[in-house]
């Protein structure tokens, strides 16, 4: 019996490291690592030891004979990756993949002095960098985040109905209490401390601030009420403290148009038409759950500029969309190229996943109707205008047969994220990233970047592990070569500085208190957690714990 990797794979390669027969690919050393949608188990080499399943941080690996009906397709998906890739056998039965030469990339001099490193951002990119430093060096790490709670996009970007994916955050959270880690949350660079002050108290600073802004469509009517970014909607249903409960108004909308076909677009579509009773078992924001319970949305239309063979979503996300209870997946065949691409697709091609989808040349003059809810995929179509005049009433979309007007009460742009300038660091407006060389910020000794602010908004959670490895490698090489400047200020001095500047400072004990409060609220409601949705609530929960500790 073999194992198979399934939908929630985060591609961080933890499973690769523990596999005794090297049967999980691509590995971080292979050229297609980071470009495939997930990792895959070779069924001809797997020896059924289960080490990968035990190590997986997102519970994505199962024996194929225990795959539930929604996941059975992954037995074939894993096997298909290896078709035509048969490795040269090293041993007979099973066929083992040959191992590469061992590499010890974190071999440091025995007298190497401890570094003091600040990591700005506690999402996956920052925490993978912190993990590398804490596990492989004797560095002391200061974890900094502008929000008074850690987690970044794992907490505020992963859809609430994907609890397995959130497991990656739980695995990284163990470093919050590492004896050589200090947590300083609620500290914003440029507001509470400057980049220069941060550098003056640390040997090196690693910025993992992500890409918090969104790309715009550049069409007329984009700023009308009822037009918003997917980033806003995702933050809204994930209880982001900087997104007000009233920032998303579903109103009387029965149809929503989403520009984009990436995974975020599919997440938003799924949440908008999912059964609120099912969402009530997740950590979705209370205000979002209440709004969805009263929602009249019956149909979500996703517009994709290209064809189904080039859709931006991953196969696993589309498979999940097609299994949503009570929701139909419809392929709009307004352009003959769409059906032709699906029919001609070979097994394993992205377009082939739509062979079983219902097909319809949708008549947009008709409303969504009172039947089953549905998600419509409209390829070879791009938004040209949000039609008002006082709010979004329709979206004009182009296509092969000319433009059509799709009546809708909400337009969501899901066409990508974008980095924003950080005070004190250089910024490339064209790419939305900080200019760097292998993670070294150009012109700033001792300053580094990792994650989306380094490489642009591409790649999932696991891609940040190899990205962080490159950056940390550059940092350590600079330290060994004597290129870093010893800090003038001490760790205690930095602690005093942030305590005097930040009104919402939270440490590791306060972070643990927030977690306990949210889990307790969740237990009372029969949910995994109920998130505190504002900065004052988060800070108050953290400080109550500190006061109780002082009294005790």
- What is the phi/psi pair of residue 520, to 5°? -65, -40
Rounded-to-integer distance, Cα 136 and Cα 490, Å: 23
Judge whether 87 lies within some domain: no
* pLDDT tens per residue, range 426-450: 999 999 999 999 999 999 999 999 9
410 and 337 share one domain: yes
Quickly tell me which residue has 């004979």 as its tokens: 65
HSE-CB at 239 with a 13 A cutoff on CA atoms is 22
pLDDT band at 102 (very low <50, low <70, confident <90, very high): confident
pLDDT given at position 92:
47
227 and 171 share one domain: no
**Residue 31: CB atoms within 10 Å:** 7
Judge whether 444 lies within some domain: yes
445 and 371 share one domain: no
325 and 372 share one domain: yes
pLDDT given at position 331:
96
Among 392, 416, 440, the domain-final residue is 416
pLDDT band at 34 (very low <50, low <70, confident <90, very high): confident
Among 416, 435, 454, the domain-final residue is 416
Q: What is the CATH number of the domain that holds 76?
A: 3.30.70.20
- Distances in Å between the alpha carbon of 287 and those of 148, 530, 531? 20, 11, 11
H or E element in which residue 543 lies: helix 535-551
321 and 466 share one domain: no
Rounded-to-integer distance, Cα 507 and Cα 215, Å: 34
199 and 231 share one domain: no
261 and 410 share one domain: yes
Asked whether the predicted pLDDT for residue 88 surpasses 70, the reply is no
Judge whether 50 lies within some domain: yes
- What is the phi/psi pair of residue 144, to 5°? -125, 140
Inter-residue contact 309 to 350 (CB < 8 Å): yes
pLDDT band at 297 (very low <50, low <70, confident <90, very high): very high
Average pLDDT over the chain, rounded to an integer: 92
pLDDT given at position 399:
83
**Residue 458: CB atoms within 10 Å:** 12
Sign of the alpha-carbon torsion through 417, 423, 428, 433: negative
pLDDT given at position 307:
95
- What is the phi/psi pair of residue 410, to 5°? -155, 135
pLDDT given at position 512:
96
Rounded-to-integer distance, Cα 82 and Cα 39, Å: 11
Is this structure's pTM higher than 0.75? Answer: yes
Among 378, 399, 416, the domain-final residue is 416
Q: What's the domain range around 271?
A: 218-416
pLDDT given at position 94:
56
Does 321 or 514 have the greater pLDDT score? 514
Asked whether the predicted pLDDT for residue 89 surpasses 70, the reply is no
Asked whether the predicted pLDDT for residue 138 surpasses 50, the reply is yes
pLDDT given at position 95:
61
pLDDT band at 31 (very low <50, low <70, confident <90, very high): confident
Contacts 24+ apart (CB under 8 A), 385-394: 385/219, 385/220, 385/221, 386/219, 386/220, 386/221, 386/222, 386/224, 386/226, 386/227, 386/411, 387/221, 388/221, 388/224, 390/224, 390/225, 391/224, 391/225, 391/226, 392/221, 392/224, 392/225, 392/226, 392/227
pLDDT band at 524 (very low <50, low <70, confident <90, very high): very high
pLDDT band at 347 (very low <50, low <70, confident <90, very high): confident
**Residue 142: CB atoms within 10 Å:** 23
Of the ranges 19-23, 87-91, 159-163, 329-333, the best mean pLDDT one: 329-333
Q: What is the CATH number of the domain that holds 324?
A: 3.50.50.60
Judge whether 512 lies within some domain: no
> Going by C-beta distance under 8 Å and a sequence separation of 6 or more, which residues neighbour residue 180?
134, 138, 139, 140, 141
CB burial readout 399-417, b (16+ within 10 A) else e: beeeebebbbbbbbbbbbb
H or E element in which residue 315 lies: helix 315-321
Judge whether 513 lies within some domain: no
State how many domains the chain has: 3
* pLDDT tens per residue, range 35-50: 888 999 999 999 999 9
62 and 135 share one domain: no
**Residue 290: CB atoms within 10 Å:** 12
Nearest Cα neighbor of 2 from 83, 85, 77 is 77
Q: What is the mean pLDDT of residues 287-303?
A: 96
Rounded-to-integer distance, Cα 484 and Cα 204, Å: 7
Quickly tell me which residue has 């590469």 as its tokens: 100
pLDDT given at position 90:
47
Q: What is the mean pLDDT of residues 373-401?
A: 94
Pairing of strands 327-332, 373-378: parallel
Q: What is the mean pLDDT of residues 267-285?
A: 96
- Distances in Å between the alpha carbon of 336 and those of 12, 307, 318, 345? 39, 11, 22, 14
Quickly tell me which residue has 């079983």 as its tokens: 356
pLDDT band at 548 (very low <50, low <70, confident <90, very high): low
Q: What is the mean pLDDT of residues 542-546?
A: 78
Judge whether 28 lies within some domain: yes
329 and 256 share one domain: yes
Q: Is 481 exposed, middle or buried (0-12, 13-18, 19+ CB in 10 A)?
A: exposed
- What is the phi/psi pair of residue 516, to 5°? -65, -40
137 and 235 share one domain: no
Judge whether 435 lies within some domain: yes
Asked whether the predicted pLDDT for residue 228 surpasses 60, the reply is yes
276 and 184 share one domain: no
Judge whether 175 lies within some domain: yes
446 and 457 share one domain: yes
pLDDT given at position 552:
36
């Amino acid at each position: 019996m073999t194992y198979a990797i399934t939908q929630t794979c985060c591609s961080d390669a933890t499973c690769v490291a523990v596999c005794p027969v090297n049967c999980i690919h691509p590995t971080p050393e292979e050229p297609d690592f980071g470009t495939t949608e997930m990792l895959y188990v070779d069924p001809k080499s797997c020896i059924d030891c289960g080490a990968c399943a035990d190590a997986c941080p997102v519970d994505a690996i199962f024996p194929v004979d225990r795959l539930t009906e929604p996941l059975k397709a992954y037995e074939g998906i894993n096997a298909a990756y290896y078709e035509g890739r048969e490795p040269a056998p090293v041993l007979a039965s099973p066929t083992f993949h040959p191992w590469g030469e061992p590499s010890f990339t974190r071999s440091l001099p025995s007298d190497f002095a401890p570094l003091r490193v600040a990591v700005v951002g506690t999402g996956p990119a920052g925490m993978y960098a912190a993990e590398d430093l804490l596990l492989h060096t004797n560095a002391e790490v200061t974890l900094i985040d502008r929000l008074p709670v850690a987690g970044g996009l794992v907490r505020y970007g992963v859809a609430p109905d994907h609890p397995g994916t959130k497991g990656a955050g739980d695995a990284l959270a163990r470093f919050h209490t590492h004896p050589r880690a200090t947590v300083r949350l609620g500290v914003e660079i440029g507001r509470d401390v400057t980049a220069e002050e941060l550098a003056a108290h640390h040997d090196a600073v690693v910025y993992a601030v992500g890409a918090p802004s969104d790309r715009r469509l550049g069409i007329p009517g984009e700023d009308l009420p009822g037009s918003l970014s997917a980033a806003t909607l995702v933050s809204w249903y994930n209880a982001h403290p900087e997104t007000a409960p009233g920032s998303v108004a579903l109103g009387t909308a029965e149809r929503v148009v989403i520009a984009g076909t990436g995974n975020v677009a599919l997440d938003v579509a799924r949440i908008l038409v999912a059964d609120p009773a099912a969402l009530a078992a997740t950590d979705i924001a209370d205000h979002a759950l209440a709004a969805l319970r009263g929602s009249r949305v019956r149909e979500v239309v996703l517009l994709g500029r290209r064809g189904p063979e080039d859709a931006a979503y991953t196969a696993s996300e589309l498979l999940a969309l097609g299994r949503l209870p009570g929701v139909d997946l419809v392929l709009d065949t307004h352009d003959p190229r769409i059906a032709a691409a699906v029919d001609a697709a070979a097994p394993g091609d992205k377009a082939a996943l739509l062979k079983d989808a219902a097909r319809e040349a949708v008549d947009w003059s008709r409303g969504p109707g009172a039947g089953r809810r549905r998600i419509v995929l409209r390829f070879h179509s791009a938004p040209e205008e949000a039609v008002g005049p006082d709010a979004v009433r329709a979206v004009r979309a182009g296509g092969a047969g000319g433009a059509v007007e799709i009546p809708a009460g909400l337009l969501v742009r899901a066409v990508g994220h974008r980095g924003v300038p950080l005070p004190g660091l250089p910024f490339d407006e064209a790419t939305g990233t900080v200019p760097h060389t292998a993670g070294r910020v150009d012109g700033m000794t001792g300053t580094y970047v990792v994650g989306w602010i380094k490489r642009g908004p591409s790649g999932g959670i696991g891609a940040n592990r190899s990205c962080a490895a490159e950056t940390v490698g550059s940092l350590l090489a600079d330290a060994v070569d004597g290129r870093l400047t010893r800090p003038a200020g001490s760790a205690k001095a930095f602690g005093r500085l942030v305590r005097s500047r930040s009104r919402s400072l939270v440490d590791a004990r306060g972070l643990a208190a927030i977690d306990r409060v949210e889990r307790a609220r969740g237990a009372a409601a029969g949910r995994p957690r109920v998130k505190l949705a504002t900065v004052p609530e988060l800070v108050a929960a953290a400080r109550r714990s500190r006061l109780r500790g002082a009294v005790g």
